[in-house]
A and B are shown apart, each in its own frame.
Chain A
Amino acid sequence: MTETPAGRRATRRGLGIVALGLLGLAGVYVLALRYTPMERFQGLPQKIFYVHVPAAWSAMLAFSLVGIASALYLWLRDPRLDLFAESAAEVGLIFSMVMLTTGPLWGRPVWNTWWTWDARLTFTLILFFLFLGYRALRGALQDPGERARFSAVVGILGLVLVPFVHLTVYLFRTLHPQPIVLKPSSPSLPGEMLRTLLVSVGVYTVLLLGFVMTRYGLGAQARLEGGEDAR
């Protein structure tokens, strides 16, 4: 039996990065609860911000990674790119679930409603459904080559769809807090809040990388052991 060093190495490194990310996450919680000031109008629920926004960031980053890896796969036909897209989609699905659960938890006390058909809410919900459809299609296809090609096309079309959804739903109507960090004028967030948010975004990016790498390594091992390495 041959060794599977590449997959195992990726898994080990991925787990290392995840451990680092979890440590960072503990730090983010401490910062959010002890360091940042209490928001005057929203009170304690505002602290969700430090989890919700970075989770949304990671979900969107994962989604872009799926789209880019899909396009590269159709071009280069390297099965590793397909595995990478699969890993990023699965992790992205989880992050979008974090985003979709923390959002209503914040919205209930602050907006007095669990859900509203605001531009960004709708757009992230569609993102979630795209991840879900991508995952379901992969699960429903037997042939590895077919699965890779088909899901790559879904990944690319999905990435192109997202701006359209955002634009049309935005024109429909919007209620979500307006951008406060990435906007033309300088960020309008108090320094402590902004620093904590940026730390959290960094931590979530590390977590995303760690999860994707772990999933990639596990996938690579499974493909070798399952004899799927022929693709």
Chain B
Amino acid sequence: MGEFFRVALAVAAKDLRVEHRSKTALVSAIAFAALVLVIFNFARDAAAVSREALAPSVLWITFSFSGVIALNRSFALERENAALDGLLLAPVSRSALFLGKYLANLAFVFTVEAVALPLFVLFFGVDLTGSLGGIVLTAVLATTGFVAVGTVFAAMTVRTRFAELMLPLLVLPFLLPPVIGAVQVTARLLAGRPLSEIAGWLRILGFYDLVFVTLCLLLFPPLMDE
């Protein structure tokens, strides 16, 4: 079991090191998130819809679209010089390889979200005092599951000709449950509702993560098994 996590961490560290050295993808993803926030501010009738009313939706559209954009990167990286084949040839568990790619993606998406959240507060004038902990928890719960599914799909779509188009087509249906849950929770948190009102949604988000992370760990080995 120690070996399993050692491999996973080594793969994740490799991905993050590549990312750290160029930083292109991370900077682009953050810029993308910021641009979505800017567009959103103007994609509403300022006289009819207040920024506060739209805030939860804006936050989650920004998070989830940036997440999907970021996922494309993870296997596009391995495509050059057939690096993926090299990884697959290594005598290690395929589930550990998946876990490594997944953890790196998760770190990447969390970083983008960590930068986008203050920007969101800045642009939309939202007061997060008292709800910051809840929002962070919701972000973690809502992101964990869909990034797992997205990592599996990114491994597939990188083999197709229209990877940038194919990945959203496959992943977006899987975003629906986390986004619904996250928006419901965020709206209640921002309105200062008690914790008892959101506990049910948080449980659904957690259950979604549990099911899909497990399923992805199980399905990745047969997926890559030539």
Q: How far is the CB of A165 from chain B (nearest CB, A)?
A: 6
**Structural contact, B170 and A133, CB atoms closer than 8 A:** yes
19 chain-A/chain-B pairs, Cβ below 8 angstroms: A122-B176, A137-B156, A140-B157, A140-B160, A143-B159, A150-B159, A150-B223, A153-B222, A154-B153, A154-B156, A154-B170, A157-B149, A164-B211, A167-B177, A168-B180, A168-B181, A171-B180, A171-B200, A171-B201
Contact with A along B142-172 (1 / 0, CB 8 A): 0000000100110011011110001001101
* Given A136-B169, A154-B170, A149-B225 contact (CB < 8 Å): yes
**Structural contact, A157 and B174, CB atoms closer than 8 A:** yes
Does any Cβ of A come within 8 Å of B194's Cβ? no
Cβ-defined partner of B173 (8 Å) among A129, A137, A146, A153? A129
Please give, as numbers and ranges, the residues of chain B lying within 8 Å of A158 by CB-CB distance.
173
**Structural contact, A150 and B156, CB atoms closer than 8 A:** yes
Q: A74-B222, A140-B160, A157-B212 are in contact. List 9 more A-B contacts (CB 8 A).
A: A122-B176, A130-B173, A137-B170, A140-B161, A149-B225, A160-B211, A160-B215, A168-B177, A168-B180
Please give, as numbers and ranges, the residues of chain A lying within 8 Å of B204 by CB-CB distance.
164, 167-168, 171
**Structural contact, A145 and B226, CB atoms closer than 8 A:** yes
Does any Cβ of B come within 8 Å of A132's Cβ? yes
Cβ-defined partner of A156 (8 Å) among B156, B208, B219? B219
CB-CB nearest in chain A for B222: A74
Q: How far is the CB of B174 from chain A (nearest CB, A)?
A: 6
- The interface of chain A, by Cβ under 8 A from chain B, is 74, 122, 126, 129-130, 132-133, 136-137, 140-141, 143, 145-146, 149-150, 152-154, 156-158, 160-161, 164-165, 167-169, 171-172
Please give, as numbers and ranges, the residues of chain A lying within 8 Å of B149 by CB-CB distance.
157
Do most interface residues of chain B lie in helix, strand or loop, or is the interface mixed? helix
Cα distance A161–B152 when bound, in Å? 14
**Structural contact, B223 and A161, CB atoms closer than 8 A:** no
Q: How far is the CB of B173 from chain A (nearest CB, A)?
A: 5
**Structural contact, B222 and A149, CB atoms closer than 8 A:** yes
Cβ-defined partner of B176 (8 Å) among A136, A143, A146, A165? A165
Q: How far is the CB of B24 from chain A (nearest CB, A)?
A: 26
CB-CB nearest in chain A for B207: A164
Please give, as numbers and ranges, the residues of chain A lying within 8 Å of B162 by CB-CB distance.
140
CB-CB nearest in chain B for A140: B160
* Given A168-B181, A168-B204, A136-B166 contact (CB < 8 Å): yes
- Which 4 pairs of residues, A with B, have the shortest CB-CB distance? A140-B160, A164-B177, A168-B177, A168-B180
Cα distance A118–B108 when bound, in Å? 35
Which of A132, A137, A152 gathers the greatest number of chain B CB atoms within 10 Å? Answer: A137
Cα distance A158–B45 when bound, in Å? 37
Please give, as numbers and ranges, the residues of chain A lying within 8 Å of B219 by CB-CB distance.
74, 153, 156-157
Cα distance A165–B212 when bound, in Å? 13
Please give, as numbers and ranges, the residues of chain B lying within 8 Å of A153 by CB-CB distance.
152, 156, 219, 222-223
Cβ-defined partner of B159 (8 Å) among A126, A141, A161? A141
Cα distance A195–B4 when bound, in Å? 57
Cα distance A74–B223 when bound, in Å? 8
Please give, as numbers and ranges, the residues of chain A lying within 8 Å of B176 by CB-CB distance.
122, 126, 165, 168-169
Please give, as numbers and ranges, the residues of chain A lying within 8 Å of B161 by CB-CB distance.
140
Cα distance A145–B226 when bound, in Å? 8
Please give, as numbers and ranges, the residues of chain A lying within 8 Å of B181 by CB-CB distance.
168
Q: How far is the CB of A159 from chain B (nearest CB, A)?
A: 10
Cα distance A161–B208 when bound, in Å? 9
Please give, as numbers and ranges, the residues of chain B lying within 8 Å of A136 by CB-CB distance.
166, 169
**Structural contact, B180 and A169, CB atoms closer than 8 A:** yes
Please give, as numbers and ranges, the residues of chain B lying within 8 Å of A150 by CB-CB distance.
156, 159, 223
